[in-house]
Structures are given as C-alpha cells and as structure tokens.
Amino acid sequence: GEEFYRDRLAGRTMLVFGGSYGIGGDLARIAREYGANVYALGRSTTGTHVENPDHVDEAFAAAYAETGRIDFVVNTAGVLRIGRLDRADNATVREAMEVNYLAPVNIARTSYKYLAETGGQLLLFTSSSYTRGRAEYSLYSS
C-alpha cells in the first residue's frame, strides 16, 4: 500500500525526462506525493532537450548538487512523427533517431555513476508500436 511506496520514495531523488505531461508527468506527480525529490524535465517546462547531451549532463549535475543523490532515473521522452517513411525529410528522421534512440542511450550512460553510488534504478519507457505494424509509424516503431 501507501506505506510501501512512501518507504521507498521519501527523501530519494528522481529525475524524469519527459516529465512535463503524460506518463512522465503522472509518474513525477505520484512520486512527489510519496515524498520523493522529483526533477520533472521536458522541453516545454524546463527547456531540457534529451537529444542534447549537455542538457542531460546539466540536469543530472543540478539535481545531484541540490540533493546529494540520485536514486531513480526515468525516461518517457519521445517524438511521434506519423507519415510515410519515403516522404520523411532528413531533419524528421534525424530528430526521431536522436530523441527516441540516442537520448535514452545517453541518459542511461550518464545515469550510471549516479545510480551506482545509491544502488538506484533506471527505467526507460518505449512503445509497443513496433509489434503492431501500424501504417505510417515507421520512424516511431523502428
């Protein structure tokens, strides 16, 4: 119940990339309710672009400087550009690859030293779209 979650989250630090709204926003809100120090990061709220390694590094450094620990890192950030792959321009393809693939890899790599210190956990959200064969979802599902 509630005591279980409070025991595991109270006083701990969580970074949520893609934490402005949706799954990430809900997760950030719930973790705060259980006493976690939550850094909800996103383009629209904090100007954090997950595809920019400097932004990711800065987010980790700021949270660590303020709390002295990082216990949980979550990534729910992603872009969905629906359309035919043969009509997608290079910028659209690049954005999808940087945000949906390279950013989670970079977040995972950056989180390692912080999570190793606390025995923390990393959670990377993906999509089930790759299993569904949806028309015009090629970039998102790849």
Q: Hey, where are the domains in the chain? A: 2-141
Residue-level pLDDT at 130 = 65
- DSSP annotation of 100 reads I
In CATH, the number for domain 2-141 is 3.40.50.720
Query: What are the backbone angles phi and psi of residue 53, rounded to the nearest 5°?
Result: -55, -30
**Pick from 126, 35, 97: which is nearest to 72 by CA?**
35
Residue by residue, pLDDT tens for the chain (142 residues) are: 899 999 999 999 999 999 999 999 999 999 999 999 999 999 999 999 999 999 999 999 999 999 999 999 999 999 999 999 999 999 999 999 999 999 999 999 999 999 999 999 999 998 776 677 778 878 787 7
Residue-level pLDDT at 55 = 98
| Number of Cα atoms under 13 Å in the Cβ half of residue 89 | 1
pTM score of the predicted model: 0.92
How far is residue 34's CA from residue 86's CA, in Å, rounded to a whole number?
Answer: 47
Query: How do strand 72-75 and strand 121-124 relate by DSSP bridges?
Result: parallel
